[in-house]
Amino acid sequence: MHAERMISTHPQARGSVNDALVRCIEACLDCAELCSTVARVGSRRTGGHEETLRRLIELCADLCRLCGEECRTHAHHHRHCEICADTCRECETACRSAAATLALPHQ
């Protein structure tokens, strides 16, 4: 990812890199990418693909949980990490609720 390079070259960072913050940023970017994809796929449901959508939503929930956990470890130092952790938790909860409404595959 480019987060480390961006932070290290920022004038206020003066070449210093907070590795924990870099990991947090990278997790958030990954989470945001998947959330965006799931939102697009879910909004154009064309029938018959509930299993695929359910799996994507569950994956999104899992990634949001992981991202939120990472951000929560930094929340006491960084307000933006606290907000991110809360947002990730909300997204995870919404995804789990939505996934539960979609049909499970026939066994």
Whether 105 shows a pLDDT value over 70: the answer reads: no
pLDDT tens by residue, 38-63: 888 888 766 667 888 899 999 999 99
Residue among 77, 20, 80 at smallest CA distance from 4: 20
Segment 72-79 shows an average pLDDT of 88
Q: How confident is the model at residue 104 (pLDDT cuts 50, 70, 90)?
A: confident
Q: Which residue has the higher pLDDT, 86 or 7?
A: 86
Residue among 87, 79, 76, 77 at smallest CA distance from 27: 87
CATH topology for the 3-101 domain: Substrate Binding Domain Of Dnak; Chain:A; Domain 2 (1.20.1270)
pTM above the 0.85 mark?
Answer: no
Domain boundaries, the chain: 3-101
The pLDDT value given to residue 96: 93
